[in-house]
Amino acid sequence: MSKIILCTRKEASHPFIFLNTKVEINTYEELCFYIYNNTVLISKSSLSEKLFDWIRDELDMPELAAKLVALSNKATFAQDLLVEILNAGDYYTPDEIATYVEAWQKYRRLTSSQRKKLKADSYLGYRRYIKAASIYDEILDNQQDITDKVFLGNVYHNRGVAAANNMDVEDAKSYFMKAYELNGNEESLRSYLIVFSAGNDATTLKQEMRKFDLDEDNFENLMIEIGDSNEDVREMTIFSMLQRAVYNRMNKDMIDYDKRMDIILGQLKDEFREQAI
C-alpha cells in the first residue's frame, strides 16, 4: 500500500532498527507504515522491551509503551500488539486498520507453505537473499505436501531469483527451469534464458531458445529488453546488473562488461556481510 508519511509527532533522537530488514524507524508514523506493510516479518519475539522503551523514551509515548508491556504478557500473536500501536494514533484510519486486521485473519488461515512463501517474498523484496533462500528451501524440502503446481513453480522461480542475486548461476538456471516446468510462466522461461546467457555466447543462446520454439525475433526482443534496462546499475538488483553485463558481453563491449562485473562482485561482498549478521 502506498502512503505519504507525514510526521506530526516527535522524531526520535536515535532510530529503532528492525534487524532482520535493517530498516531504521525515526517516528511514530514511520513505525506505523512499517508495521502495516511488513507484518509477516515481525515476530512476537521482536516486539521486545527494547522497542517498548524506545516508544516511551524516544517517541515520548509512555501510555502506549505501558499498554504494550502489559499486553505482551497476554497476547497470543504479535499482531495484537501491532494493532495496539496502529490504534494509538491517527496515521491510519479505522477502516484501514480494519482492513489490516482482516488481512491478518486471512493470513492465519493460509497453509504453512503459503505463510512461509509470503515471508520469504518479503525478505526478497528487501534484498535479504540468503534469508529468503533459506525459507524457500524449507518449503521445497517439504514439497511432497504441496499439490498446487503453480504455487510450487512460483516458489522455484523466486528461489531462482535469490540464487541469481547471489550469483549462484547454475542453481538459478535449475530453479528457473523447474519453475517453468511447473507454472508454465513465460517470466520463468525468460529468467532461465537470461541466466543461461551469462555463461554462453549468442549462438549457443539461440540454440537453447530453439528448444522452446523461440525464433530470432524472440532473441532480439530479449536482447532489447536487457539493453533497455536501468542504466544506473547501483540502483538495480544484482540479477538486473547481471542482465546488463550479459548484454555488454554479447555486444563485445568488454570494458563496460568488466566494469559492471566489478560492481556486481563488490556489491555481493557488501550484501553478504550484511546478510550474514
Which pLDDT belongs to residue 8? 52
Contact 31, 16 (CB under 8 A): yes
pTM: 0.79
Which pLDDT belongs to residue 227? 60
* Residue segments in the chain with a per-residue pLDDT below the cut of 50: 1-2, 4-7, 229-236, 268-269, 271-277
Which pLDDT belongs to residue 272? 39
CATH topology of domain 112-275: 1.25.40
Rounded distance between C-alpha atoms, residue 176 and residue 145, angstroms: 21
Domains of the chain by residue range? 16-108, 112-275
Which pLDDT belongs to residue 1? 43
Rounded distance between C-alpha atoms, residue 112 and residue 209, angstroms: 37
Which pLDDT belongs to residue 246? 58
Which pLDDT belongs to residue 234? 39
Half-sphere exposure of 190 (CA within 13 A, CB side): 15
> Which 3-state string (H, E, C) describes 241-271?
HHHHHHHHHHCCCHHHHHHHHHHHHHHHHHH
In angstroms, the first-to-last Cα distance of the chain is: 29
Which pLDDT belongs to residue 166? 82
